[in-house]
Amino acid sequence: MPFDKIFKIISKNAASRRFCACAFSKNTYNARMPSNASSLPKNRQELINIIDTLRTKNEQLEAKVAWFEEQFHLSRHKLFGASSERNLREQPNLFNEAEAIAEYGPVEEEIRQSIQYERKKPGRKPIPKNIPIERIEYRLPEEEQVCTACGGSMHEMSEELRHEVKLIPAQVKIVQHAKIVYGCRNCEKNGTEVPIRTAKAPRPVIEKGLASPSALAYVMTMKFVDAVTLYRQEKHCARLGIDLSRGVLSNWMLKGSEWLEPIKDLMKERLLAQGILHADETTLQVLKEPGRAAESKSY
């Protein structure tokens, strides 16, 4: 392959051009490559090996340059950057993903796919099968099950159905856990030391707390899934007849996060094992965060 084509291949993007400026400078080029085209190897396989070596070093230099650029821009932004910037220097690279990971080769043929759309039919959607159905039957009294034409007895021939949704409001009940303590009658009569045994019970979610697993899951789901604030949940609990302040609900959520820590660690491990991650980089400010200034931003 001619050398001019090699340069066209490995200098497609900015990172490759930086590599060319470094790898093919006067000293580096003279040290690693022959001084002129006439002294290049005639063997095709040797030329391919040279190209593979250059590509490998190109990838290594790209990774190093990208890392140093990222560290430089982060440090400069942390020291001198404004509180908010409309356009960060590293942001345009987000749109260069296809060029960065694409391998140079023949262009794939365009694939045409016919997409058929199914029009929405008017009408009510069917009732999900997993929802239980409560059946209420309405029958005629026996004295009315008589034919008005001939006076004969009438039989059931069909039924007319109507469905309605019944929502059951949240209910509150207290679960009392009683661990039975056992003693020995014979030892009590003989005056000897009585061995005492207590039945085992499940470990509470929060020590010396009122929270049950279902209550803790309910509060956290309402907060993070349904976006119901703790203030509104406090009022909701009051309407149900139970007094749970926002402070108590906050402590429940903190304790619940400790129970979910192993799941969070596993999710983080699985995410970091992926090649590419898409994240919501909306910034927010966290007050009283350990080890960080109040003006710093979090994601």
Per-residue pLDDT at 139: 93
Per-residue pLDDT at 36: 59
Give mean pLDDT, residues 266-279.
Answer: 92
CA 234, chain centre distance (Å): 28
Question: Is the CB of residue 266 less than 8 Å from the CB of residue 256?
Answer: no
Say which residues have a Cβ less than 8 Å from residue 133's Cβ, sequence separation at least 6.
127
For residue 89, pLDDT over 70 is answered with no
Measured between alpha carbons, how far is 207 from 213 in angstroms, rounded to an integer? 12
Local confidence band at 73 (pLDDT 50, 70, 90 cut-offs): confident
Per-residue pLDDT at 262: 95
What's the CA angle centered on 291, arms 261 and 267, to 5 degrees? 25
User: Which segment, 185-194, 268-277, 279-288, is predicted with the most confidence on average?
Assistant: 268-277
Local confidence band at 64 (pLDDT 50, 70, 90 cut-offs): very high
Residue written as tokens 């619940």? Answer: 256
Local confidence band at 25 (pLDDT 50, 70, 90 cut-offs): very low
Give mean pLDDT, residues 194-198.
Answer: 89
Give mean pLDDT, residues 110-130.
Answer: 75
For residue 128, pLDDT over 90 is answered with no
For residue 223, pLDDT over 80 is answered with yes
Residue 233 falls in which region: left (phi positive, over 0), alpha (psi -120 to 50) or beta: alpha
Over pLDDT 90: what percentage of the chain?
Answer: 44
Per-residue pLDDT at 104: 46
Per-residue pLDDT at 282: 85
When the pLDDT of each residue in the chain is averaged and rounded to a whole number, the result is: 80
Per-residue pLDDT at 46: 85
Per-residue pLDDT at 110: 60
Per-residue pLDDT at 138: 93
For residue 57, pLDDT over 90 is answered with yes
Local confidence band at 264 (pLDDT 50, 70, 90 cut-offs): very high
Give mean pLDDT, residues 190-204.
Answer: 88
Tell me which of 34 and 121 has the higher pLDDT: 121
User: Which segment, 23-27, 219-223, 287-291, is predicted with the most confidence on average?
Assistant: 219-223
